Amino acid sequence: MFNRGMRHAAFLALGLLSSACGDQEAATEHERELENDAVYNSQYPQGQSFQVRLAGLKDPVTAVLKGDHAFVGDQVIGQVSGTQVLSVDKQVLLELDGEARVRAMGSGIVNATGQKWPGGVIPYEIDPAASAATRTAFEGAKADYHAKTSIRWVPRTNQADYVRIVTSDGCWSYVGKIGGRQDLSLGNGCGVNPARHELGHAVGLAHEQVRQDRDSWVTVNAGGSQNAIDWGSAGTPIGAYDFESMMHYRNYFVNGRWDYVPKNGFPPEWVGNDRVNTFTAGDLGAISAIYGGGATTGVCFYSDIDYKGASFCATSDSSWVGTEWNDRISSVKVSPGFEFTLFNDLNFGGNGLGCGCDIPNLVTHNFNDLTSSFRIKRQ
């Protein structure tokens, strides 16, 4: 690749050698980047591995014992208790005797997911030792849930069941309400977007890439149990496959290929929620389906006409839509009781377009790909 412009055979060998060295250095640098990537290391944790059968999965999967918890990807399936590792439903996953050993578990099938939170209200407390970065990430994600869904994170008083926000190694959470205290880690490098994902697990959301219809939509090159299709209720599809869901794993380019390759031509570099950096319409629909119509959609903005492409929804003003969404909105859908005004400058400046109606194509209003800020109010 580096020697295409060379005209003389005398330089060919040197060019190939330089190319090989350059590729090797680039690969080494990429490996170093991954080693320091909190999200990557949470998706693919390293530790002592063991086999376990989880409810909803056809075959045994490989879990990882890391610190005081057992993981499948960034989902916690068990915790160390004395000389044992107990699953969410209190079955023994491992006996600890210097080195972890797998113990017979009767049927061998354990449940790794919890229940819904009554009324969508989730009590929480923040570990006094939590870092400032952890607190900032949690508060940012919590504010997003409060602005766009019916889920409410409330400071714990004396509730028996609650989430404890901690600064640990990586970004991880249990799925749903497991009973008692359950830790949720937002470690170094876990910003607001990963926090939104982990809070989604605590709410009860599974990964998008484990849906039962997954193989119709995407080719999975990333091996591992975190990508095993869930044939239980957690893997039941809600809505269309959402490549940019906050619950879809981030896509990494490793060993010359993407972890997830869409089968419909969707750009692989857009898979995951980084580009959208908020709830998609599919995320809001999933929360609504689980908690009974509780998601407050408000006004939804789409990157393409006819309410297609990437999307996000809001119920309050935004003086700046962010780098990813600036001059990118092409259609708008409005929930009953809301109205909006789009502005083509920051801080609600410049020309405006207001409506309490759906607009499938902003081209017809001479406002396509022009929005930089917006106001939203209830009628």
Are 263 and 369 members of one domain?
no
Angle between helices 192-203 and 132-148 (to 10 degrees): 60
Are 278 and 309 members of one domain?
no
Selecting among 95, 198, 208, 269, the annotated active-site residue is 198
Integer angstrom CA distances of residue 221 from 166, 186, 256, 261 = 32, 27, 11, 8
Q: How many domains does the chain have?
A: 2
Q: Which of 265, 291, 317 is the last residue of a domain?
A: 291
Kindly give the pairing relationship between strand 84-87 and strand 308-314: unpaired
Q: Which of 291, 313, 344 is the last residue of a domain?
A: 291
Are 175 and 150 members of one domain?
yes
pTM exceeds 0.95, yes or no: no
Q: Where are the alpha helices (DSSP H) in 112-268?
A: 132-148, 192-203
Is position 216 within any domain? yes
25 catalytically annotated: no
What is the average per-residue pLDDT within 110-137?
A: 89
Kindly give the pairing relationship between strand 253-254 and strand 257-258: antiparallel
pLDDT value at residue 293? 56
Is position 359 within any domain? yes
What is the average per-residue pLDDT within 210-216?
A: 92
Instruction: Express each pLDDT in 324-340 by its tens digit.
Output: 789 999 999 887 778 99
Q: Is 146 annotated as a binding residue?
A: no
Are 163 and 270 members of one domain?
yes
Question: How many Å apart are CA 147 and CA 140, to the nearest integer?
Answer: 11
pLDDT value at residue 297? 64
Confidence of residue 195 (pLDDT cuts 50, 70, 90): very high
pLDDT value at residue 29? 54
pLDDT value at residue 251? 95
Q: Is 197 annotated as a binding residue?
A: yes
Are 252 and 343 members of one domain?
no
Give the contacts of 221 (CB within 8 A, at least 6 positions apart).
257, 258, 259, 260, 261
pLDDT score of 107 more than 50:
no
> Among the listed ranges 136-150, 218-232, 248-262, which one has the minimum average pLDDT value?
218-232
Kindly list the strands in the beta sheet with 373-378, ordered across the sheet, starting from the edge strand earlier in the chain.
352-355, 338-343, 373-378
Give the contacts of 34 (CB within 8 A, at least 6 positions apart).
40, 41, 252, 254
Are 335 and 256 members of one domain?
no
pLDDT value at residue 140? 94
pLDDT score of 349 more than 80:
yes
Burial of 67 (0-12, 13-18, 19+ CB in 10 A): middle
In contact, 371 and 327? CB cutoff 8 Å: yes
Are 169 and 207 members of one domain?
yes
Identify the three-state secondary structure at position 61.
strand
Confidence of residue 313 (pLDDT cuts 50, 70, 90): confident
Is position 259 within any domain? yes
What is the CATH number for 374? 2.60.20.10
Question: How many Å apart are CA 164 and CA 38, to the nearest integer?
Answer: 20
DSSP state letter for 119: G
Confidence of residue 19 (pLDDT cuts 50, 70, 90): very low
Is position 7 within any domain? no
pLDDT score of 232 more than 50:
yes
Place of tokens 């009628």: 379
Give the contacts of 167 (CB within 8 A, at least 6 positions apart).
127, 129, 130, 131, 133, 134, 185, 186, 187, 188
Q: Which of 275, 291, 307 is the last residue of a domain?
A: 291
Are 222 and 259 members of one domain?
yes
Q: Which residue from 342, 218, 201, 356 is spatially nearest to 283, judged by alpha carbons? A: 201
What is the average per-residue pLDDT within 340-360?
A: 93
Q: Is 248 annotated as a binding residue?
A: no
Are 252 and 111 members of one domain?
yes
Rounded to the nearest integer, the mean pLDDT of the chain is 83
pLDDT value at residue 296? 53
- Host domain of residue 182: 105-291
Question: How many Å apart are CA 290 and CA 159, to the nearest integer?
Answer: 22
Are 119 and 259 members of one domain?
yes
Is position 146 within any domain? yes
Q: Which residue has the higher pLDDT, 105 or 238?
A: 238
pLDDT value at residue 372? 93
What is the CATH number for 218? 3.40.390.10
Is position 87 within any domain? no
Are 276 and 362 members of one domain?
no
The token pair that represents 82 in the structure block = 């004395």
Are 229 and 345 members of one domain?
no
